[in-house]
Amino acid sequence: MGWKTTIAALLGISAYSPAPSQLPGLDDPGVERARASMGGQLQAYPVSRTRWYLADLESATHAANTGQIAQAAQLMDAASADGVLAGVLSTRTGGLVRLPKRFRGKPEIVEALEVGHEQTRSVFDEMVPATELALLAGDGVKLGVGVGELVPVEGRDFPLFVRLDPQFLFYIWTENRWYFRSVAGLLPITPGDGRWVLHCPGGRISPWKAGLWRALGRAYIRKDHALMHRDNWEAKLANPARVAVAPAGATEEARRGFFARLMAWGVNTVFSLTPGWDVKLIESNGRGYESFCKTIAEQNNEFVIAVAGQTVTTDGGAGFSNADIHKSIRADLIKETADGLAYTVNTQILPAWIAARFGEDAIEGGCALEWDVTPSKDRNSEASALVSIASAITTLTAALGVHGIALDAAAMCTRFGVPVTTAAPAPLALPAAAEAAPAARRLQVAA
């Protein structure tokens, strides 16, 4: 229990944490038997709803305030079928987890996590697949909370992270505890125990309030209804009406025969009409469909602004580049998602693996992950700035040396944020003219 106490300290679990639950945990024999009967599956059958109304959004809001987020999760599952939302969200989540990663900490731990010369994939990538991590990040963005499990794998000393559907996640306010509805019944969630992973970028208290699901859900419902109304309009009014005009003296039999030929009007139908008979097409010149198109466009814009923080171009070039994410998503939102995901990994996934491989004492100061979310253009600007600063220091040193004045290089580095060490720098080689000038002045003074 020592390493779990250390992880609890990393998570900041206070003295007001809930008492141990009497319900079974993941390692309980009964839970393992239930999982075995389902082929190892822990999650129950997901529930999908394909028709949503604004009244359902209100019900989901009230239910979420009591800790029941199943409706909100089902709404986000339905909204994920929207192409615009899926595309812009994948840039913020899938694009993020594929940005360069940096590990800081003890060299032996960092070396074990990163890709070696004889490996094609790192331990971290095998333990935490990018796809599962992107799904967890998406749950955090949409719902403010997500859940996953570290599944033991035979034949290796590190587990496999598996994201679980958040519609089975719920919170009991009076117990201050999250639960998961599994094939074996209710299971209490203990973050950082080496098995459960609870991702709460929305905050520790009512994280669902910080999720985007209310804004995204409203936009999805309105867009879905507008699409149905537009399709209904097209089905009724897109095809012109066919009208047969019979002369006043036509017999009823002649009118019925002409009407039958009109009903059989096909692609290449030809009518031969005598004077007094006529065939017309009446097309709708209404513009009601434009209101539906406008609503659809507004909701697409709502998706983009909610997820990306700005309006972006969604029809860019093929493929994904590390620099593309910064063009599509506001930089502070990328940083927010990256920091929240890194906190979960650093406090609930890496510590358990470090304790298992390197011992409990290696947890503190062992290793921490962060994603490099700095745009590529900023890297180029930083490099250019350093070159300019170095040139300025060299030029100023030479120019001031002529007058017997020394440049405070340390102050210059501090002012411009140049990283330096405490070691004394090598003497700067001055131009011959600068070295000769002090000697010439001394000769002048002596004279």
Per-residue pLDDT tens for 169-205?
Answer: 999 988 889 999 999 999 999 888 889 999 999 988 8
Strands 241-245 and 278-282: antiparallel
How far is Cα 216 from Cα 209, in angstroms, rounded to an integer?
A: 13
pLDDT band, very low/low/confident/very high, at 386 (cuts 50, 70, 90):
confident
The pLDDT, as a whole number, for residue 364 is 80
pTM for the structure as a whole: 0.73
Q: Hey, what are 146's tokens?
A: 């997500």
Q: For the residues of 133-174, what is the DSSP string, one character each? A: HHHHHHHHHHHS-EEEEEE--TTSSS-EEEEE-GGGEEEETT
Q: Is the pLDDT at 433 greater than 60, yes or no?
A: no
**What mean pLDDT do residues 342-356 have?**
90
Mean pLDDT of the chain: 81
How far is Cα 392 from Cα 445, in angstroms, rounded to an integer?
A: 31
How far is Cα 70 from Cα 68, in angstroms, rounded to an integer?
A: 6
**What mean pLDDT do residues 33-61 have?**
92
Could you tell me which residues are beta bridge partners of residue 43?
A: 182
> How many H helices and E strands in the chain?
17, 10
Q: Which of the residue ranges 98-107, 314-323, 394-403 would you say has the lowest mean pLDDT?
A: 314-323
Q: Is the pLDDT at 319 greater than 80, yes or no?
A: no
Task: Kindly report each contact of residues 260-264 with a partner whose C-beta sits within 8 Å and lies 24 or more positions away, as own/partner.
Answer: none
The pLDDT, as a whole number, for residue 19 is 66
The pLDDT, as a whole number, for residue 327 is 58
pLDDT band, very low/low/confident/very high, at 366 (cuts 50, 70, 90):
confident
Q: Is the pLDDT at 78 greater than 70, yes or no?
A: yes
**What mean pLDDT do residues 389-411 have?**
87
Instruction: Report percent pLDDT > 70 for the chain.
Output: 80
Per-residue pLDDT tens for 247-280?
Answer: 877 888 888 888 887 777 776 777 777 788 888 7
Q: Hey, what are 269's tokens?
A: 């139908």
Best-predicted range by mean pLDDT among 269-283, 303-317, 365-379, 389-403?
389-403
Secondary structure element (H or E) that encloses residue 110, with its range: helix 107-113
Cβ atoms of residues 235 and 227 within 8 Å: no
Nearest to 85 by CA among 301, 409, 279: 301
pLDDT band, very low/low/confident/very high, at 442 (cuts 50, 70, 90):
very low
Instruction: Report percent pLDDT > 90 for the chain.
Output: 29
Neighbours of 100 (CB within 10 A): 10
Phi-psi region of 276 (alpha: psi -120 to 50; beta: other; left: phi over 0): left
Could you tell me which residues are beta bridge partners of residue 146?
A: 199
pLDDT band, very low/low/confident/very high, at 117 (cuts 50, 70, 90):
very low
Per-residue pLDDT tens for 52-68?
Answer: 999 999 999 999 999 99
Q: Is the pLDDT at 447 greater than 60, yes or no?
A: no
